[in-house]
Structure 1
Amino acid sequence: MADEASTTEGPVGARSPRTRLEPAIRRERILDAAEVVFAGRDVTTVTIEEVAEAAGVSRALVYSYFGDKGGVIAALYSRSFEQLDAELSRALEGTGSLPQRIRAVTECYLRFAADHAAAWALIGSAEALSHPEIRLARRVRFERMGSAWGGSPQARILARALVGLLEAATLEWLDGTEVPLDDAVDLVCRTVWLGLSGLEDHEGLHFPTAGPGAVVPRPTARGTERSPRG
């Protein structure tokens, strides 16, 4: 991809003359700037010009990398979930019982959202969810999660149900609620556990330990699981 020779960035928004950046680095800098610009804003009010100014690049370069504002949103959205999946994998390392893994996943979602509130807000944006790239990314992610359980239609439904619950609960928690993090985690965990424990074979469920499938349990050898309060 063509790059600009006239400017480069130090901190977001700063300019220095006639230095090139690698395209991948410049792309990440633009997304860093976009995350700042989107923070606390209705995404429909943000312009490409604002993103370009914050990144210290031309509007044309932003269009060249992302196509339009929807492309910026889609890239920021996808990057956030890549980061979340990596954190989910780390959070699940060393966890034992199914309730412990449910709590690890839930707490990871809420903490990640609190640390990336601007990007997370895009999840509830109609403009973001209607973008073809995001719709494709979500479909692929759900399919990979469903495959982690075994690939059945029921597994795909459960993947959407669990992630939908986590996303909706996290958005509500971020939206001015005064519920402490630990209390919110406990509430969501108990809700998820009630649903999973109602499945006939819930004692044989576990969360995979890596990747986007980490959000969705799958069958394994049966063992004894206790409730989150157990």
Structure 2
Amino acid sequence: MTEPARGGRTRTRLDPEIRREQIVDAAERVFTLRDPSEVTLEEIAEQAGVSRALVHNYFGDRSGVLAAVHLRCTLQLDEALRSISSDPDGTLDEHLVALVDAYLRIAAAKPAAWKLVGTPEATLHPLVVEARRRRCERLADWWGGDAAARLLARSVLGCLDAAVAAWLEQRDLSRGQALEVIHGLLLRGLAGILTQRSARPARAVGDPPR
């Protein structure tokens, strides 16, 4: 089937998911070349070879397109996290090595796109907020699943986001060297905290906080 295209041409009508991915591909190219805040839906549509209305129908506005790029970029991260958490016999050290390596490997594969992950317009989008919440919950489940574990998970992910962004910006360390530094930082901090938590007796209701 065909559908009208810009300028009176016709284009083949694609499966909606294929068309959606085509638009995300185009948006990623435009966003990595320019400041995302300056990119318009018209530019994304032009790059994708579709109408602005079609981009709007799929994503709503620019933040929706940015969120789609963000979610696709972090999809591999979520898959890696699921794989790591499915190994209940793994040690904290092994889990952290795998987690940090996944962050660095995925960011290194598409550094320009990964830099979009930290843009406020993307991170504040409801779909991205929900994806990040699920990522934190999965990580927190390793460490007991309570409020303290959730705080630890958010802190670890925030540290990883910042550390990987700094590594991409400077690139004065190899991936292996960056892995060693970030893993060492997280392991020393988490090992101490988790050891203290496991050794601490449960607090009775009404007892003051320790």
1:161 and 2:164 equivalent? no
Partners in 2 of 1:193 and 1:19 — Cα distance?
53
Map of 1:134 onto structure 2: 128
Give the drift of 1:140.
Answer: 3.5
SS at match of 1:39: helix
Cα 1:138–1:189 change in 2 (3 A) is same
Cα 1:175–1:108 change in 2 (3 A) is same
**Cα deviations by residue, 1:109-146 (Å, 9 ceiling, x for unpaired):** 01101112233212321222233332333234323433
**Cα deviations by residue, 1:197-221 (Å, 9 ceiling, x for unpaired):** 10253898xxxxxxxxxxxxxxxxx
Q: Is the 8 A contact 1:39 1:117 kept in 2?
A: no
Considering Cα pairs closer than 8 Å and 6+ residues apart, tell me whether 1 or 2 has the greater RCO: 1
Root-mean-square deviation over aligned CA pairs: 2.8
Partners in 2 of 1:82 and 1:202 — Cα distance?
33
TM-score (norm 1): 0.74
Q: Is the 8 A contact 2:4 2:11 kept in 1?
A: yes
1:183 and 2:177 equivalent? yes
Map of 2:47 onto structure 1: 54
Partners in 2 of 1:88 and 1:176 — Cα distance?
26
Map of 2:110 onto structure 1: 116
Cα 1:85–1:199 change in 2 (3 A) is same
Q: Is the 8 A contact 1:70 1:128 kept in 2?
A: yes
1:192 and 2:171 equivalent? no
Cα 1:177–1:34 change in 2 (3 A) is same
Q: Structure 1 vs Structure 2: percent identity of aligned residues?
A: 44
Partners in 1 of 2:84 and 2:146 — Cα distance?
26
Tell which deviates more after alignment, 59-68 or 140-149: 140-149
Larger Rg belongs to: 2
Residue type of the partner of 2:47? A
TM-score (norm 2): 0.80
Higher helix share: 2
State the number of aligned residues: 195
Map of 2:146 onto structure 1: 152
Give the drift of 1:42.
Answer: 2.0
